[in-house]
Amino acid sequence: MITDEFSKDLSAFVGTHFVYTYDNGWKYEWYARNATTCDYRIHQGLVGGRWVTNQSMNAVQFAPGIYKVDWHEPTGTCVSLLFDINREVIHGTIFFPQWIAGEGQHPEKTICYQNEFIEDMHRFRDEGPAYPYVVIPEFAKVTYMKNEGPDNDAVINMPPGQMPEDYFKDK
Ligand code: FER
């Protein structure tokens, strides 16, 4: 098998805290809480203001310093991120159900601290419409990257608004 030991080594990735801006202007903050969980805040974008902690994810090391992360949200949205740590570049694809990102639909229904509204998100997801999915593939430039250690509750613990306190230092 091509996978296994190498791909499972996430030791240099877990604990990393990123801020990045997509080419379409959307700005995200994302934290690899541990090998199976992430936290994030959305500073700018279709669902700017939304934030989530303890989201289950799948993560692998695809090549040295290149990590791929995939997950499914309670809203029905799917996200796939590819992190190139050395180049400080990410490619993200978000797969939005129609009820969030379709013409005249309702992205604002997902703008909250999702953890407190999981039942609502499941209800919206099940009400749909889900299809056709709106697929948004974009490159992003990393503007902040720091290892904060695993399972650090201080990294993503409030709604989006401010950047990390040392964000503007030596940049
Ligand atoms: C990302 C991090 C999180 C991202 C999307 C999400 C498009 C989640 C979005 C959502 O659930 O609304 O980098 O990129």
Share of the chain above pLDDT 70, in %: 96
Q: Does ligand 1 lie within 6 Å of residue 97's CB atom?
A: no
| CB distance 56 to 117 below 8 Å | no
CA 6 / ligand 1 centre spacing (Å): 26
pTM over 0.85? The answer is yes
Given this model, what pLDDT does residue 144 score?
98
CA 26 / ligand 1 centre spacing (Å): 10
CA angle 144/74/19 to nearest 5° reads: 5
Mean pLDDT of the chain: 96
Which residue, judged by its Cα, is nearest atom 14 of ligand 1? 92
| CB distance 16 to 155 below 8 Å | no
Q: pLDDT for 32-64, tens place per residue?
A: 999 999 999 999 999 999 999 999 999 999 999
